[in-house]
Amino acid sequence: MGASESRTPLAPAGIAPGNRRLILPRHRAAVPKSADLIDLAVLPAAPDLAAAVAGWLAHLAHERRLSARTLEAYSRDVRQFFAFLTERFGMAPEIAHFTDCAPADLRAFLAARRAEGVDARSLQRALSALKSLARQIARETGQAAAALGAIRAPKAGRRLPRPLSPTDARAMTTTALREGEAREPWILARDAAVLALCYGAGLRISEALSIRRSDAPIDETDAVTITGKGGKTRSAPIIAPVRRAVEDYLKLCPYALKPAGPLFVGAKGGPLSPRIVQLAMARMRGALGLPDDATPHALRHSFATHLLARGGDLRTIQDLLGHASLSTTQVYTGVDSARLLAAYRSAHPRA
């Protein structure tokens, strides 16, 4: 290692003394609120490296406009790598330790994480996070981490989404499966409306819950503007069954919803947590005997797969889902092909 232990510690930018918490300044509405505070209290790093991480996370949040979930994952990845270096070399790493890492150090880290049961996709993300941090440090200090460029990410088999059948997907967007539950009718209607948006419009659950009351897809509304990943906006068409589900919820909702407030609220009138909807779908999949991967996001997969199966254009489906790359959408062609092959093998007498 080429680091000097006598280096003068630098005060981490954006971290309150004795607090070790990074406050990210607000940057328009597109920056996720949960990204305003990144906890660096448990970051095993010297002050200069902690300051570099603070600046890097701020850059990702404000300039790259990454989601709060991605920021949390990246910060967790670098924390785990720094903990590995601390154990390996007996001291909290400085910038010089990070940039002077040998390929063997990085391979040892990836091997240790693999031994802990971490899958290849998570290791790919961790390596991507470390390379991103290294690029930021190189821009700011001129110190390059050459070893990171010599390490290839582990290969991961491409997992095909598992959509629901059209019958099961439609059942998830009604209240019929939950009529025996001791829950108020408006709550059942609310959950059905959220899931109807996931399946009928291909929305992520976070996108459905981000809709404001003033933008509610009701009456003659045939589309809703959604802000998806990376702050990108798209128009999601709203079909009649989805409009009816939202209208049914609004008729039963006991709260006077503010125009600028959320369309979907919890039992006490506050913003609805995604976890509540996930639990509701878990109860319904239990009633239908569906596997654990039948989640709200699986309804989005179902939306895309069913459109493709009915002759939908791949480029159009890409726009509807808000995918930045067509290659991301192309995974659904594999789903449809797999389903056709399974049907052939089960039905053809010579299969």
Q: Active-site residue among 204, 285, 301, 306?
A: 204
d(CA 49, CA 97): 9
d(CA 70, CA 61): 9
d(CA 23, CA 39): 9
Q: Which of 118, 115, 138 is nearest to 127 (CA)?
A: 118
Strands (E), the chain: 21-23, 37-39, 223-227, 233-237
300 belongs to the catalytic site: yes
Six token digits for residue 307: 């459109």
332 belongs to the catalytic site: yes
What three-state secondary structure class fits 225? strand
348 belongs to the catalytic site: no
Q: Active-site residue among 229, 234, 255, 339?
A: 229
Helices and strands, number each (H, E), in the chain: 15, 4
Alpha-helical (H) ranges within 218-295 are 240-252, 274-288
Q: Active-site residue among 243, 285, 301, 323?
A: 323
Q: Active-site residue among 213, 300, 301, 306?
A: 300
CA distances 325 to 168, 319, 329, Å, are 29, 10, 7
What is the DSSP track for 45-114?
A: --HHHHHHHHHHHHHHHHTS---HHHHHHHHHHHHHHHHHHHHHHSS---HHHHHT--HHHHHHHHHHHH
**Which are the catalytic amino acids?**
204, 229, 297, 300, 323, 332
